[in-house]
Amino acid sequence: SFLADAVLSCEFRTEKDQSPRIEWKRRKGRSYAGRAKIEGATMTIHSVSQKDSGEYRCEVTASEDHVNLGEATVTLNVLVPPHVPSCEVPNSVFVGGGLDLLCKDKLSVPPATYRWFKDNKALVANADTPYSIDTNKGTLQKFNSVSKTDAGMYRCESSNNVGAPKSCVAQQLKVIECKCFLSQLFGVYTSHSIHQTLRKIFSSSLFRSFEYDSAPCCSQTTKTTNNQKMFSSSCDKGALYTICWT
């Protein structure tokens, strides 16, 4: 947690009483007992953290005045500099598939904004690099257009206007170009139970990817993609499967 001192003050005027009684109170939240020093109408709280954020009430009692009680509410907002964000980078993705990265710093106040880096170069969304980047949510996405050039070391940096930016450790992303096999199954093989059995077999650890009625890792091969569309449109009883492995 980020520790510092917070100074809270309230201003007041009395009619006659030269020594009014001043009290600071907080209805709920972390207790400041043992950490506060009060001088006049000013209270200094030592070693504050985010848990000290909230409303504090200053009560002034002037027994010699016609109006002998007054109060004011002071709001304390504790700002927290960036922390090292958590970064979610997959170990590998397929050529032609999608890329989805996530970065999050849950502790900084105000909330952090994010930047992604590849091989220590900041990534931006433009026509040459078709990324979808949300600097507020910390997401980086690339839909169905991953290529070999996307391989590299990825890291994310969180920042706000309170302290220095923080970065997670760079993680390596591998891009795999897989081979594809298309098979058309007819008759009894198109039953629901057979579909489920094949799905379990081809989804095992022996294969990197198994898709029904789609071929994401073959999307870069025009001939294969065209064949897939032809089979899909001309087959009345069959089912088209794509099995990908490295």
Work out the pLDDT band at 76, boundaries 50, 70, 90.
Answer: very high
In a domain, 81, yes or no: no
Q: What is the pLDDT of residue 199?
A: 57
Using CA atoms, how far residue 2 sits from 56, 94, 98, 106, in Å, is 20, 42, 38, 14
Q: Is the whole-model pTM more than 0.75?
A: no
Look at residues 6, 151, 129 and name the one whose alpha carbon lies nearest to residue 76: 6
Mean pLDDT for the chain overall: 76
Q: What is the pLDDT of residue 97?
A: 87
More confident residue, 107 or 194: 107
Look at residues 75, 6, 10 and name the one whose alpha carbon lies nearest to residue 46: 6
Of the candidates 128, 149, 176, which is a domain's last residue? Answer: 176
Give the tokens for residue 235.
């087959």
Of the candidates 46, 76, 106, which is a domain's last residue? Answer: 76
In a domain, 199, yes or no: yes
Average pLDDT over residues 160-176: 95
Percentage of residues in the chain having pLDDT higher than 90: 40
**pLDDT 10s digits, 11-47:** 877 777 777 888 898 878 888 888 999 888 899 999 8
In a domain, 59, yes or no: yes
Work out the pLDDT band at 237, boundaries 50, 70, 90.
Answer: very low
Of the candidates 54, 76, 98, which is a domain's last residue? Answer: 76
* 67 vs 202: CA distance, rounded Å: 83
Specify whether 33 is located in the same domain as 106: no
Q: What angle do CA 218, 224, 226 make, to 5 degrees?
A: 120
Q: What is the CATH number of the domain that holds 27?
A: 2.60.40.10
b/e per residue, 154-185, with b = 16+ CB within 10 A? bbbbbbbeeeebbbbebbebebbebebeeeeb
